[in-house]
Structure 1
Amino acid sequence: MNSQLPVHDAEASPDAARWRDPRLSPTERADALLPLMSLEEKVAQLVGVWVGADASGEGVAPHQADMVDGELRWDDVIRHGLGQLTRPFGTAPVDPVAGARSLAASQAEIAAASRFGIPAQVHEECLTGFAAWRATVYPTPLGWGASFDPELVEQMAGHIGRSMRAAGVHQGLAPVLDVTRDYRWGRTEETIGEDPYLVGTTGAAYVRGLEAAGVVATLKHFAGYSASRGGRNLAPVSMGRRELADVILPPFEMALRLGGARSVMHSYAEIDGLPAAADEGLLTRLLRDEWGFTGTVVADYFAVRFLQTLHRVAADGVEAARLALRAGIDVELPTVDAFGPPLVEAVRAGAVDEALVDRALRRVLAQKAELGLLDPGWR
């Protein structure tokens, strides 16, 4: 990127040297910054905004997605900072050079708008390559599995990651580790195969390649998405604990332990009536307490709101946000919705515990520190 962060008044505080200091661990830097932030600044780091890069190279503009009511004004969105930018290259075809210039200009605006000058973390899809115009397209995951060649998959992922980093992208929403055995499911082409060991071995190789290129790999969809009843997308999952443990979960654990993935995207599925987005046992007790995962959990697109509209376990967006935060979701994607201004009001009213916001924020800031996004003079 060719935008440099400005110096802000917030850096005059005694703790500023700590959160800007790259010699400290990411967690130490996050812990130093968190107490300095207002509630609005905290929540702003927990959301993404869906944008499209301008073909002129002048900046990005919010993408008005079908499921979000009302217009998003760019100046309002970035006033207190911003957690993520969603798919600036993949929303619409844009020349890669113009797209990179547009992204750099937008990052400069984000840094200048808020007190701490923290840029956004940028994510893109990358399952068969960087999902952008003129980027190389690689084989589908079914081809990875059919190759029985993890080393080749790792090499491929390295190429994908380097192309993304060159354009200013920090996070890739891949690999898909759903074990598929019902080929009626429409997303089977995104999966590696029907054997958990093959999926885990191949998926871990992809993760190693992407992470070695400096891009955060995101394991998805955690968990059970591909086992939907009748092969219907978003249908409930009828599966017992043994089958879940033997078939569905092993690839995720392998990709974390053998690959080093730094992010997980939860599933749209509900298993035995409990949606993954509200499942504290899955996203916290298993993923973090048992497996030791320390990265970020990001919401699949619109899935926090789905707790209200699809699963019917939340009365409104605020309750959906509370359930998601309590379960262990750190970032709402793709754009500002349930984690928006009503969440700030709910925290102030005591309806949502601010400690849940702080827990998610600490993970988000630590990952941004790992990526260099808290460093002074970041470009």
Structure 2
Amino acid sequence: MTTAPWRDPALPAAARVDDLLARMTLEEKAAQLYGVWVGAATDGDGVAPLQHEMTADHDWDELITHGLGQLTRPFGTAPVDPALGARALARAQHRIREAGRFGIPALAHEECLAGFTAWRATAYPVPLAWGAAFDPDLVEEMARRIGHDLRSVGVHQGLAPVLDVVRDPRWGRVEETIGEDPYLVGTIGSAYVRGLESAGVVATLKHFAGYASSAGARNLAPVRAGVREFADVTLPPFELALREGGARSVMAAYTETDGVPASADPALLTGLLRDEWGFT
């Protein structure tokens, strides 16, 4: 029996993807773009925005027939015994593979900025401490250990590091950031990326770009930064972490700059990130 090109590990990844995409229906392609929050409690206030919207009224068996792109924080919502959680995640992945035509598992992602954000996982100093220490080798080793924690239970992607350069202490996420100097943020952030990626976990640069420069330091407020500030302050840490760290994921900022949302900005996401910087 002839093996389909997309199943042939000897072929380049791009060729396999092209072949697979050509075989997929529109519904199957769309299914790879969304995810669900698994194992989340349905009462209380939740631990993240829109958590309940991502858990409400899903028919799991129907949902996975076309595939599923993402499993959101299977360990990070409520206390989950690591061994039990790993088995539950493996069972979910098996069901997803069996339900779809192509047997594609979902990507499982977790928060991991100062350690795997899950019950019994090691908690490390926050990024402000990394910047104060200015020890890239130590940060890289820390991130490597975090990555091994993630991979040991079946998680593929970590939502870190935060590369926002913060110069207004009123902003509510300062403790998640490394410092106010672009070189410092880029150097330490790149070390974190190298460590996480060395463990086989996809590092996610965030928030691209300008999130911390919001008006009045209010979360999600419009960004007032100009072209020069973007070029000199906001963007260098991201470019450094891509070129020297090898990050495989970039999260768009939640904000808008000059009326254009970052998540819908072709100049930022295509012209700069993909065409100029070569992010694939």
Q: Per the alignment, in what secondary structure is the counterpart of residue 281 of structure 1?
A: helix
Partner of 1:21: 8
Residue 112 in structure 1 maps to residue 98 in structure 2: yes
**Letter of the 1:24 counterpart:** L
Deviates more, 1:267-276 or 1:45-54: 45-54
The residue aligned with 1:284 is 270
TM-score by length of 2: 0.94
**Aligned residue identity for 2:151:** R
Instruction: Check whether the contact 2:36–2:54 (CA below 8 A) recurs between aligned residues.
Output: no
**Which residue in 1 is equivalent to 2:24?**
37
Q: Which amino acid aligns with 1:30?
A: V
Report the AA paired with residue 176 of structure 1.
V
Structure 1 residue 89 corresponds to structure 2 residue 75: yes
8 Å CA contact retained: 2:36, 2:55: no
- 3-state SS in 2 of match to 1:79: helix
1:78 deviation in Å? 0.6
- Asked if the contact 1:204/1:255 (under 8 Å) is kept, the reply is yes
Q: CA separation in 2, counterparts of 1:152 and 1:65?
A: 34
Report the alpha carbon displacement of residue 119 of structure 1 after superposing the two structures with TM. Answer: 0.6
The one of 256, 260, 275 aligned to 2:242 = 256
Superposed displacement of residue 68, structure 1: 5.3
Query: Which runs of structure 2 are paired with 1:136-155 in the superposition (5 Å)?
Result: 136-155=122-141
Deviation of 1:105 after TM superposition, in Å, equals 0.5
Q: Aligned runs of 1:307-326 on 2, under 5 Å?
A: none
Name the SS for the 2:119 alignment partner.
coil
Residue in 2 that maps onto 1:159: 145
Q: Which segments of 5 or more consecutive residues in structure 1 lack a partner in the other structure?
A: 1-11, 55-63, 295-379
SS at match of 1:52: coil
CA-based RMSD of the aligned residues comes to: 1.7
Q: Distance in 2 between matches of 1:279 and 1:192?
A: 26
Contact 1:129/1:136 (CA < 8 Å) preserved in 2? yes
Contact 1:153-1:205 within 8 A present in 2 as well: yes
What is the DSSP-based 3-state SS (H/G/I as helix, E as strand, rest coil) of the residue aligned with 1:235?
coil
Q: Is the 8 A contact 1:196 1:248 kept in 2?
A: yes
CA contact (8 A) 1:52 1:88 kept: yes
Cα distance change on mapping 1:207 and 1:184 into 2, 3 Å: same
5 Å matches for 1:232-243?
Answer: 232-243=218-229
Does residue 1:189 correspond to 2:188, yes or no? no
Establish whether residue 127 from structure 1 lines up as the match of residue 113 from structure 2.
yes
How many angstroms does 1:72 deviate by?
Answer: 1.1
Q: Is the 8 A contact 1:236 1:270 kept in 2?
A: yes
Partner SS for 1:123: strand
3-state SS in 2 of match to 1:42 = helix
Residues in 1 aligned to 2:137 and 2:88: alpha-carbon distance in whole angstroms: 35
Q: Which amino acid in the other structure matches residue 277 of structure 1?
A: S
Deviation of residue 91 (structure 1)? 1.4
Q: For 1:248 and 1:145, how far apart are their aligned partners in 2?
A: 17
In 1, are the aligned partners of 2:97 and 2:104 still within 8 Å (CA)? yes
Show structure 1 runs of 4+ deviating over 2 A: 64-70
Gaps of 5+ in 2: 42-49
Give the number of aligned pairs.
273
CA distance in 2: counterparts of 1:195 and 1:77, whole angstroms = 45
Report SS of the residue matched to 1:221: strand
Q: CA deviation at 1:17?
A: 2.9
- What displacement does 1:67 show? 4.1
Secondary structure, aligned partner of 2:71: strand
Corresponding letter in the other structure for 1:166:
S
Among 159, 163, 185, the alignment partner of 1:173 is 159
TM-score, scaled relative to structure 1:
0.70
Measure the CA separation in 1 of the matches of 2:189 and 2:81: 30
Q: 1:239 to 1:102 in 2, by over 3 A?
A: same
Q: In 2, are the aligned partners of 1:53 and 1:94 still within 8 Å (CA)?
A: no
- Quote how far apart the aligned CAs of 1:53 are: 7.4
- Give CA-to-partner distance per residue, 1:198-232, whole Å, 9 cap, x none: 00000000000000100000000000000111111
Counterparts in 2 of 1:92 and 1:285: CA distance versus 1, 3 Å? same
Label 1:277 to 1:78 Cα distance change in 2 as closer, same or farther (>3 A).
Answer: same
- What is the DSSP-based 3-state SS (H/G/I as helix, E as strand, rest coil) of the residue aligned with 2:205? strand
1:69–1:261 distance in 2 versus 1, CA, 3 Å: closer
Structure 1 pair 166–280 and aligned structure 2 pair: CA distance change class (3 A): same
Within 5 A, what are the aligned runs for 1:295-310? none
The alpha carbon displacement at 1:77 in A equals: 1.4
Question: 1:49, 1:85 within 8 Å by CA — same for their partners in 2?
Answer: yes
Name the % identity: 69
